[in-house]
Amino acid sequence: MQKLTNAIVELIRRAATELPQDMRDALEKAHAEEESGSAAKGALDTILKNVELARENVTPICQDTGTPIFEIHYPVGISTRQIAAQIREACAIATERAYLRPNAVDSLTGENSGDNSGIDFPTMHFHEWDEPDIKFDLMLKGGGCENVSTQYKLPNTELDAGRDLEGVRRVVLDAVNKAQGLGCAPGVLGIAVGGDRGASYIKSKQQLLRPLDDENPESELAELEDRILDEGNELGIGPMGFGGKTTLLGVKMGTLHRLPASYFVSVAYMCWANRRASMRVADKEITYA
Amino acid sequence: MRKLTVPISEDVIRDLTVGEPVSLSGVISTGRDAAHKYMIDNFIKTEGNPPDSEHELYNELKRILEDGVIYHCGPVVQQTDAGWRFVAAGPTTSIREEPYQAAVIEHFKLRAVIGKGGMGAKTLQACQTAGAVYLHAIGGAASLIAQSVKDVVAVHKMGFGVPEAFWIIRVEDFPAVVTMDSHSNSLHDQIKAQANTEFSKLIEH
């Protein structure tokens, strides 16, 4: 198998220092919509300037470079152990180059490993597929927004939320309201309905890899995504929780089969610094997106 | 946008109201969890009589913090031939300092605390009695804020680790928003109340 370490370092550099175009467009649009002189407009102005500076100077957009989460699709016959080793190596190099902050702390000793390596760190999920290429999707998930991510078990009496999409709508809006500005709004929501608790959380994060304009093939879910986006913005929490028109920039939802006894709704909150990048390794060529 | 220059007078602070964007210049200190606990243990619990070993730093901090500013930040720094440089320096979540902040504001006569996420009732009360404000920096704007840090004047208590040390820095046009003023107003409380009202409407049958 070809050596991919340097290519993965480049993938990390892109994710940490260059905000994807769809996120930049969404932030520009939000900036145009907020009132002149408002704290919301000022916050978005600062955010947009920061995004440009980070790109020009090749420095991290945010000092919290988060948990690196890799989703890897690979063809038959590729060693996932070798890919994993190269990802770990690439994370250490990216840390040395200050694309990543040393962010992996031993939960027992409190010691920082210094190179973003550790037990189940970084996060990697491997999926075998029929295509001949290897595809890497990387997301950097910050700690502030991870702390406001949450999971509900339906029915929820307090919110009068039953085991249906109306119940899902209710608990998701509750999560947005509880988060206020603490997840570094305006944010993007990844939502998963169903699964066991663990699978549900993973699925909710995977939703965040979808581009903002990606339309859900399931029409009921597409409608609910749009509705939650509108209603979340009606809460008026605004950028950084300063008040304003834009609290959410996107809502993406997926489902998993569940046990008859369980109905989980997981909400992955992603901050405005929605850092994701992908890389495709073909026979002779590596392309980034 | 209102420009604030350290040292800041009480009159200037009393004139600020929540929601107002400001641009801050002057010499300030970073301080987060370890720094706040240290100040409580050595300066405040001892009623201004720190152990001999801490006298020098006490006098230095009094000079910087009186009519001054403390910033909740754990920076990413780089050591160069010319000295220390701030690479990324966004705010950290402030509420962790809630048990200490009021006493620190009152003891040192601080005029402003910068961080993110806002603080609680005890700090809001101290802002009113002592004449101080809470300034909200933009979370995640690490590159931009690092650019507003023009000099690292000194660093104290490096033993706490890079993120936790007192970094004495000179900033120019540091952007922030007043979210807690000296008249008992908290933008965070206001926004939360409004959002709760909207939320109730969205989930009523």
CB spacing of A238 vs B191 below 8 angstroms: yes
Chain A interface with B: residues with Cβ < 8 Å: 38-39, 42-43, 46-47, 49-50, 53-54, 57, 59-64, 98, 101, 142, 144, 159-160, 170, 173-174, 177, 180-182, 184, 231, 234-238, 240-243, 271-273
Kindly state whether residues A70 and A148 are assigned to the same domain.
no
Work out the minimum CA distance from B174 to partner chain A, whole angstroms: 10
CB spacing of B116 vs A240 below 8 angstroms: yes
Mean pLDDT of A110-137: 95
Residue B203: its pLDDT value, please?
95
Kindly state whether residues A90 and A208 are assigned to the same domain.
no
Give the domain extent around A194: 144-270
In a domain, residue A39? The reply is no
Buried b (16+ CB within 10 A) or exposed e, A193-210: bbbeeebbbbbbbbbbbb
Give the strands of the sheet with A123-128, arranged side by side.
A123-128, A67-74, A134-141, A275-281, A286-288
CB spacing of B188 vs A180 below 8 angstroms: yes
Is residue B88 predicted with pLDDT exceeding 90?
A: no
Question: Is B125 at the interface with chain A, CB within 8 A?
Answer: no
Work out the minimum CA distance from A211 to partner chain B, whole angstroms: 21
Q: What is the pTM of this model?
A: 0.91
- Residue B59: how many other CB atoms lie within 10 Å: 11
Kindly state whether residues A263 and A153 are assigned to the same domain.
yes
**Which residue of chain B comes nearest to A244, CA vs CA?**
B191
Report the DSSP pairing between strands A248-255 and A150-153.
Answer: unpaired
Chain B residues within an 8 Å CB radius of A182 = 93, 117
Residue B191 burial (C-beta neighbours within 10 Å; 0-12, 13-18, 19+): buried
Kindly state whether residues A158 and A244 are assigned to the same domain.
yes
Mean pLDDT of A225-235: 98
d(CA B201, CA A273) in angstroms, rounded, equals 30
In a domain, residue A44? The reply is no
Kindly state whether residues A103 and A212 are assigned to the same domain.
no
- Chosen for mutation from A240, A269, A272 (greatest number of chain B CBs closer than 10 Å) is A240
Quote the DSSP letter at residue B42. I
Kindly state whether residues A135 and A264 are assigned to the same domain.
no
In a domain, residue A263? The reply is yes
Cα distances (angstroms) measured from residue B55 to each of B34, B50, B59: 18, 6, 6
The pLDDT-based confidence of B112 (bands split at 50, 70, 90) is very high
Closest Cβ–Cβ partner in A59, A181, A182 for B143: A59
Kindly state whether residues A241 and A191 are assigned to the same domain.
yes
H helix or E strand, kind and range, residue A83: helix A80-96
Residue B59: its pLDDT value, please?
97
Mean pLDDT of B101-106: 98
Q: Any catalytic annotation for residue B36? A: yes
Kindly state whether residues A134 and A159 are assigned to the same domain.
no
CB spacing of A173 vs B203 below 8 angstroms: yes
The pLDDT-based confidence of A128 (bands split at 50, 70, 90) is very high
Residue B1: its pLDDT value, please?
84
Into how many domains does chain A fold? 2
Residue B69: its pLDDT value, please?
98
Kindly state whether residues A114 and A202 are assigned to the same domain.
no
Is residue B205 predicted with pLDDT exceeding 80?
A: no
Chain B residues within an 8 Å CB radius of A271 = 139-140
Is residue A1 predicted with pLDDT exceeding 80?
A: no
Residue B60: its pLDDT value, please?
97
Cβ contacts of A83 within 8 Å, gap of 6 or more:
A1, A4, A72, A74, A126, A134
**What mean pLDDT is reported for chain A?**
96
Kindly state whether residues A129 and A66 are assigned to the same domain.
yes
Q: What is the CATH number of the domain that holds A88?
A: 3.30.360
d(CA A81, CA A186) in angstroms, rounded, equals 37
One of B36, B136, B156, B188 is an active-site residue; which one? B36
Which range is least confidently modeled, A147-151, B41-45, B89-93, B180-184?
A: B89-93
Chain B residues within an 8 Å CB radius of A57 = 143
Kindly state whether residues A122 and A99 are assigned to the same domain.
yes
Residue B74: its pLDDT value, please?
84
Q: Where are the alpha helices (DSSP H) in chain B?
A: 10-14, 33-39, 55-65, 98-108, 121-130, 142-148, 187-203
The pLDDT-based confidence of B79 (bands split at 50, 70, 90) is confident
Structural tokens at position B76: 């990413």
β-bridge mates for residue B112, sequence order: B69, B133
In a domain, residue A32? The reply is no
Work out the minimum CA distance from A111 to partner chain B, whole angstroms: 12
The pLDDT-based confidence of A184 (bands split at 50, 70, 90) is very high
3 state DSSP class of A196 = coil
**What mean pLDDT is reported for chain B?**
95
Go through the domains of chain B in sequence order and give each one's CATH number: 2-203 (3.20.130.10)
Mean pLDDT of B93-121: 96
Chain B residues within an 8 Å CB radius of A160 = 203, 205
In a domain, residue A117? The reply is yes
Kindly state whether residues A215 and A137 are assigned to the same domain.
no
Mean pLDDT of A176-192: 97
**Which residue of chain B comes nearest to A158, CA vs CA?**
B203
Global ipTM: 0.92
